[in-house]
Amino acid sequence: MIPALARPAPDSFADLSARLLPTVVNISTSQTLKPSQRNLIPDVPPGSPVEDLIKKWFGPRSSLPRHVSSLGSGFIIDPSGLVVTNNHVIDDADQITVTLNDGTSLPAKVIGRDDKTDLALLKINPRHPLPAAHLGDSDKARIGDWVIAIGNPFGLGSTVTAGIVSARNRNIDAGPYDEFLQTDAPINRGNSGGPLFDMNGTVVGINSAIYSPSGGSVGIGFAIPSNLARDILGQLRAFGQVRRGWVGVNIQPVTPDLAEGLGLPGPVGALVGNVTPNGPAAKAGIRTRDVIVGFDGRKIPDARELSRVAASTPIGKTVNVEVLRGRQHLNLRLTVQRLADPPKQQKSAPPKRKTSQLGLGLAPMNAAVRNQFQVPGGVSGVVVTDVDPDSAAYEKNMHAGDVIVAVQDQPVKTPSDVQQRIAADLKAGRHVEVLLVSRAGSLQYVALRF
């Protein structure tokens, strides 16, 4: 057995910290609180023991707007005064002030921001070129590598902490493109937007979030990888906004149950639940139930990877897409278009209780049912009116207002169609029933195990 080799812990972080501290800045913001927002200030009886505390923090009640402030961190990426931070640090701010390591404070303006990755790019106008940090290769950051975080925790000013990379590709449901680096370097409120440096002094992450039941550091912090940030920041600098690629499909993960029910070799790839008419995927020949396993030369292990890869693909680029269609392996050519913001979805109406063999209450589609559950026009099938909380359907997040379009790829129009199909599959010894379900007009597959 070959022994594991590891780089020794540094004797000190002092020399590295001294070199990097001038590249890190403190960010303060102020926001005008409108009278309607000030109604959120707690109302306490006159003479209450907490009345003075409320006045101290919120000020006297008035119909006039007042200002509130917040603090965060950032770092310089260009000597001309370009500064990176988190979007949530400067969101809704009326004024933004950047304080350099030498104490100089400068007003900043927003060049661009992206709420999906929580990144923002600011511009200040210094009197002389500033020391700048450099984005490194976050793909080379290994679990166990030493890292240091520099930021402005609790408004105390420039603070250096050290730790290791604890995990990679963390999904904390902060956005659609999560692939955070996790670190145990102490990160607290106010560190948001600050850099996570490797031992070469390059930025491998932008500190963005912590997990903390207490509000303080418990050794679980999350940083946006530099390789994800690099493309986003480049677009913000060039266009003031992010232009993401779009392929025109709704996708979902391939679970073990779906893989078995669809006859797939294993739970890999991204399952296509819906194809936008006349979109890039439709023009390329991609169909519902196809499983995308490769995109532009990259393997696609799961749906989230496809979302990230497609979003970062240049608009107008034609790529090769590897697809599993049943037992066929196809290579299709697709031209990526620009992603637009999706429409807001409406919530369904409360259900009425009645269950089927799958734990579902079912009703045929008619005008009254369509109106009750706000089913989009053009969607046909059998409407779910209730979900048994003890059923597999409940565990798979089915709810009232879902529309069953097909069972095992056989279209259904009435509850009887669904029941007959289920009975036939049970008799044939099938263990997993695959439903094609429309939710707010978007199609997805749901695998229910008997």
CA torsion sign for 368, 374, 380, 383 is negative
* Other Cβ atoms within 10 Å of 169 Cβ, number: 12
Examine the residue annotation and report whether 438 is marked as an active-site residue of this protein: no
Let me know: does 111 contact 237? Beta carbons within 8 Å: yes
Task: Single out the catalytic residue among 28, 70, 73, 88.
Answer: 88
Examine the residue annotation and report whether 356 is marked as an active-site residue of this protein: no
Question: Among candidates 110, 86, 83, which has minimal Cα distance to 96?
Answer: 110
Task: Single out the catalytic residue among 28, 70, 138, 192.
Answer: 192
* Other Cβ atoms within 10 Å of 288 Cβ, number: 18
Question: Among candidates 114, 105, 193, which has minimal Cα distance to 149?
Answer: 193
Let me know: does 305 contact 293? Beta carbons within 8 Å: no
The rounded distance, in Å, linking the Cα atoms of 311 and 114 is 13
Task: Single out the catalytic residue among 70, 73, 114, 118.
Answer: 118
The rounded distance, in Å, linking the Cα atoms of 401 and 92 is 35
The rounded distance, in Å, linking the Cα atoms of 183 and 221 is 5
Q: Which two tokens stand for residue 227?
A: 């390789």
Question: Among candidates 205, 218, 203, which has minimal Cα distance to 118?
Answer: 205
Q: What is the number of alpha carbons within 13 Å of residue 294 lying toward its C-beta?
A: 15
Phi, psi of 234 (to 5 degrees): -65, -40
Helix (H/G/I), strand (E/B), else coil: 277: coil
Phi, psi of 424 (to 5 degrees): -65, -40
CB crowding 300-337: b at 16 or more within 10 Å, else e: beebbbbbbbbbbbeeeeebebbbbeeeeeeebebebb
Q: Which two tokens stand for residue 3?
A: 């022994």
Q: Is 429 exposed, middle or buried (0-12, 13-18, 19+ CB in 10 A)?
A: exposed
The rounded distance, in Å, linking the Cα atoms of 172 and 153 is 22
Tokens 């409407």 locate to: 383
Examine the residue annotation and report whether 192 is marked as an active-site residue of this protein: yes
**Catalytically annotated residues:** 88, 118, 192
